[in-house]
Amino acid sequence: MRHPSTPLRIGPLTLRNRLIKAATNEGMSRQGLPTRQLVRFHEAVAAGGAGLTTLAYCAVSAAGTTLNDQIVLNETALPHLQALTEAVHRQGGAASAQITHGGCFTFVRGHGRPWSASGGVNKIGMMSGQLLKRAMGEQEMEAVAAQFAKAARLARRAGFDAVEIHMGHGYLLSQFLSPLYNQRRDAYGGDIEGRARFPLRVLRRVLDAVGDEMAVICKYSMTDGCRGGNRTEEGVAIARLLEREGAHMLVLSAGLNAESITTMFGSSFPAENRAVVTNPLMKAAMFLQQRFQREVPFRELYLLEKARRVRQAVSLPLAYLGGVNSAANVHQVLGEGFEAVALGRVLIHDPDFVAAVCRGADHQSGCTHCNRCVAMMYTEGGTSCVLKAPGDPRLNRQPAAG
């Protein structure tokens, strides 16, 4: 059985171990620039032993952002991103930039009617007055694919060791993959091969741009977790297509932000989250989300049954994500043939979790999976565990390279 401390090869990249910090939106960029608090956050994860830490939601264009103040991979952000990767490398870790485009899942105005796989009513946009979305044409798809490739090249210049293309959770590429959003009748719709055609083009462009120099990872939803969306059968088929196109590793997630967030997080969201948020749009969105969500108690390894089906279907490296809360969980996942374990809330609670597991300790995380850390991204100090000290608002106002 693989030990967590065993090095892992992903494309051209070798990680020092098999434990990865999953992307978690941190609320630690101001005017699109990483802050010193964001550098401190990821440096702590690397110091805690993670083989790879993932910088969440780096938009490939300003139109691809979902919220104000998100990082856009451009020349202005470059020195601040370099400050982050240098800090991670000083601690012996590797850094990955999650590159993505929100499509119609956006609360940001000023870029015209948002793009998606299909046009029509934009239910997400009802919160921000963007009631309609527009279907992408061939020209728009080519332009966005080029933006993904350009963003990957800039990430390389910034010192990142990997890029993670976000194809899940209801963002643009997920909108193409999911029949819930993709109603097209041309070559980019219909069956799963048609719906995957544009996401696969994006993957190919990124691989051609940086695949010899960086690990190219894809994160996607094995199931949409709601009526009318992809089921696990389609999730298996997507994994096969991504493997065929040459992805170096897949991060196995599930669910959609709007329709099935409990599928993604494996447990319900507490009402206390609304008290933390000051943005009226997000406060309203959380109210509606909690109003219609079913109560879901947390259970460890809540996505393992679905991930096993993907593991049986493909041979490329897979990172399991979902409900890992102890050293025993890590050993079980690696023992079942997954190459890596991705950790989110556990490392927000305690970045040193990785070091404890790699030392061989029979370690149990103190994370309660209350999901209150999710709302903390909207606070002045950014994402933090409510059981620990909050982030530093002062550092979260200072650009990383300032």
pLDDT tens-digit series, residues 175-225: 999 999 999 999 999 999 999 999 999 999 999 999 999 999 999 999 999
Rounded CA-CA distance 219/168 in Å is 6
Rounded CA-CA distance 56/36 in Å is 16
Lowest mean pLDDT among 173-182, 285-294, 344-353, 370-379: 285-294
Residues 6+ apart with CB under 8 A from 154: 73, 74, 75, 78
Rounded CA-CA distance 188/141 in Å is 10
CA 349 to chain centre: 18
Is the pLDDT score of 275 beyond 70?
no
Is 320 an annotated catalytic residue?
A: no
Handedness of CA 362, 367, 369, 373 (dihedral sign): negative
**DSSP H stretches of helix in 211-365:** 232-245, 261-265, 272-276, 280-292, 304-313, 327-335, 345-349, 353-358
Rounded CA-CA distance 180/341 in Å is 29
Is the pLDDT score of 280 beyond 70?
no
Q: Enter the DSSP assignment of 317.
A: -
Rounded CA-CA distance 347/395 in Å is 20
How do 33-34 and 29-30 pair as beta strands?
Answer: antiparallel
- What number is the average pLDDT over the span 227-239? 97
Is the pLDDT score of 158 beyond 70?
yes
Is the pLDDT score of 26 beyond 70?
yes
Lowest mean pLDDT among 33-47, 334-348, 374-388: 374-388
Q: Tell me: domain 8-389, CATH 3.50.50.60, correct?
A: no
pTM, to two decimals:
0.95
- According to the model, what pLDDT value does residue 129 have? 87
Contacts 24+ apart (CB under 8 A), 272-278: 272/372, 272/375, 273/371, 273/372, 273/374, 273/375, 274/375, 276/372, 276/375, 276/376, 276/378, 276/379, 277/375, 277/378, 278/378
- What number is the average pLDDT over the span 33-50? 98
pLDDT tens per residue across span 324-351: 999 999 999 999 999 999 999 999 999 9
- According to the model, what pLDDT value does residue 269 have? 82
What is the share, in percent, of the chain residues with pLDDT greater than 70? 94
Q: Which of 320, 327, 364, 357 is nearest to 342 (CA)?
A: 320
pLDDT tens per residue across span 70-116: 999 999 999 999 999 999 999 999 999 999 999 999 999 999 999 99
What is the share, in percent, of the chain residues with pLDDT greater than 90? 87
Rounded CA-CA distance 16/332 in Å is 20
Residue of 57, 171, 220, 378 marked active site: 171
Task: Please give the angle made by the CA atoms of 269, 275 and 278, to the nearest 5 degrees.
Answer: 115
Mean pLDDT of the chain: 94
- According to the model, what pLDDT value does residue 277 have? 60
- According to the model, what pLDDT value does residue 294 have? 72
- What number is the average pLDDT over the span 49-57? 98
Rounded CA-CA distance 371/70 in Å is 21
Domain ranges of the chain: 8-389
If pLDDT is split at 50, 70 and 90, which confidence band does 283 have?
low
